[in-house]
Amino acid sequence: MFRQKSFLYIVATVVLLCTSGLGLTAQNTSAQVSQNELAGKVNKIGQAMFFINRLYLDTANFENLTDKALVAIMKELDPHSSYISAKDMKAMNEPLQGNFDGIGVEFALINDTLTINSTIPGGPSEKVGIRAGDKIIKVDDEVISGTGLTIERVHGYLRGVKGTKVKVSVHRRGVPELLDFVITRDKIPLNSIDSYYALDDDILYFRLTRFAATSFRELIMALSELKVYPKGVILDFRGNPGGYLSAAIQIANMFLDQGQLIVYTEGSKVRRSDEYATGDGLLKNVPVAILIDENSASASEIVAGAIQDWDRGTIIGRRSFGKGLVQQQIPLQDGSALRLTVSRYHTPSGRVIQSPYEQGKKDEYYKQLIERYNRGENFNRDSIQLPDSLKFKTLKEERTVYGGGGIMPDIFIPQDTSYYTPFYGEILRKGLLTDYMNEYSDKHRDEILAKYSTPEKFVAKYDVPDSEITAFLEYCAGKGVEPKEGDMEISGNEIRKYFKGLIIRSVYSFNDFIKFINLEDKEILKAVEVLQRAAE
């Protein structure tokens, strides 16, 4: 009995010490469970573990039990609090930290063979002479081609600790024997700004896929590389799920005047924290338009909300997701962590970004997007019904804006589904167009480059032959997917556009692909119109 009490006392003491040292200073302790009550709950869990260990018939996997218990506990809180096991921590942090260790290639799996689409400039593979179109047949003398390759297996072969070496044997078109390369792994940048370029009238476009530790530096470097003082800036946050708060503050600061509030956070147990612009932003006098959609969340909404509240720019698109809860990542002793919601984001006018939710009902919370779609919100602004209690005023022009769930755009652009058919949806879901075009581009790469030396020439002069569309439809039929009558009349132009775009992506660059796809983008065309008018 003494051993049992000692064990439970230690468990309770450790938990209480941990929770008291998280930096979550309470403003209202009446909302907290008393120390004695909390100790009793911890004691109950400790008792259960003790008796399982002492009396259970079989050997229990306590690591698994603990992980599952913590997952279940966090599910009963808000939709964004979570438990992350030790093995998942590294993979989850990678996209936000902005780099990983590897060989520096973009690849596709074509006919069960790892095919290089491009090498990262200055990366380990480019340095030893790996080229686009090369096919990696062996890794460290192990044949990997034709073995049922998966993305996960490829990462296992090519990623590794910086400074370690990997030998790859490559088949190169026109070379009869395999070529061997020894590549020294290095830090590979994982860019959060994956496309940027100058449009007409010196308007600059930047597509941010997430807010990472490197985002601000990437934006500065992109501005430097473009060598244009912009007359307007488009920030494309569509599909951006968020990321680091610090990155959102840095980017918002680029556009705001000194002393203007960017965002504040506040929770029942965490004091209010305000973030202000410093006034030294490089773009504070440049007109800006921000593109958002239903998948823009968190840090995306912070920047959009600050720009909108200060009447600093124009928000274009559809209502954002509404993720306005602040998570504090709390490391646990085995390398796992809790991501615990501690406060809410508020825009400068006081709006709450977070959509409504009920504790313990995460599934219902994420069904909101489907419900919004079913209500027609993506197609008609009038279908969005918000009560007057959620009305706020912008801080300069006193325009009406709304809180209580996402950022409402200043200019609503409905989702375009005019080209959608079940056939089009199926070829995308099954990756048929991508797979076909990867193989097509690989076969015709040299021919395309010889005929069109630049992506601009390709865009201007290349038309997708009818024979290639016929060949693609035959390929789809071979996979059991065929268009119904009328499908190609509806979806044909969109398929042709992506056929051409995927050639650009594979043969030239991802940036050129985005630039091409954006040519007919309604949100971007509207942003250009707005910025041209603002610059007059």
- The percent of residues above 70 in pLDDT, for the chain, comes to 91
**Location of each CATH 2.30.42.10 domain in the chain:** 99-189
pLDDT tens-digit readout, 338-360: 989 999 999 999 999 998 888 88
What is the pLDDT at residue 99?
Answer: 65
What is the pLDDT at residue 20?
Answer: 41
Sign of the C-alpha dihedral computed for residues 138, 144, 145 and 150 taken in this order: negative
When pLDDT is averaged across residues 253-263 and rounded to a whole number, the result is: 97
Alpha-helix runs per DSSP H in 78-187: 86-97, 124-128, 151-158
Among candidate residues 125, 186, 284, 323, the one labeled active-site is 323
**Location of each CATH 3.90.226.10 domain in the chain:** 193-415
Strands 261-266 and 273-276: antiparallel
What is the pLDDT at residue 97?
Answer: 62
396 in catalytic set? no
Averaged confidence pLDDT in the chain: 87
206 Ramachandran zone, left/alpha/beta (phi>0; psi -120 to 50): beta
> pLDDT tier at 32 (50, 70, 90 boundaries)?
low
In the CATH hierarchy, which fold is given to the domain comprising 99-189? Pdz3 Domain (2.30.42)
**Do the beta carbons of residue 228 and residue 518 sit within 8 Å?**
no
Vertex 30, ends 27 and 33: CA angle to 5°? 110
pLDDT tens-digit readout, 294-322: 999 999 999 999 999 999 999 999 999 99
pLDDT tens-digit readout, 8-25: 444 444 444 444 444 443
Among candidate residues 67, 309, 512, 521, the one labeled active-site is 309
pLDDT tens-digit readout, 80-138: 888 988 878 766 665 556 567 889 888 888 888 998 877 876 688 888 888 878 899 99
Among candidate residues 298, 349, 355, 506, the one labeled active-site is 298
When pLDDT is averaged across residues 229-242 and rounded to a whole number, the result is: 95
Q: What is the largest CA-CA distance in the chain?
A: 84
112 in catalytic set? no
pLDDT at 264 over 80: yes
What is the pLDDT at residue 94?
Answer: 59
236 in catalytic set? no
Q: What is the pTM of this model?
A: 0.81
Reference 171, options 103, 116, 117; nearest CA is 116
193-415 is classed CATH 3.90.226.10: yes
Strands 113-119 and 105-110: antiparallel
What is the pLDDT at residue 131?
Answer: 83
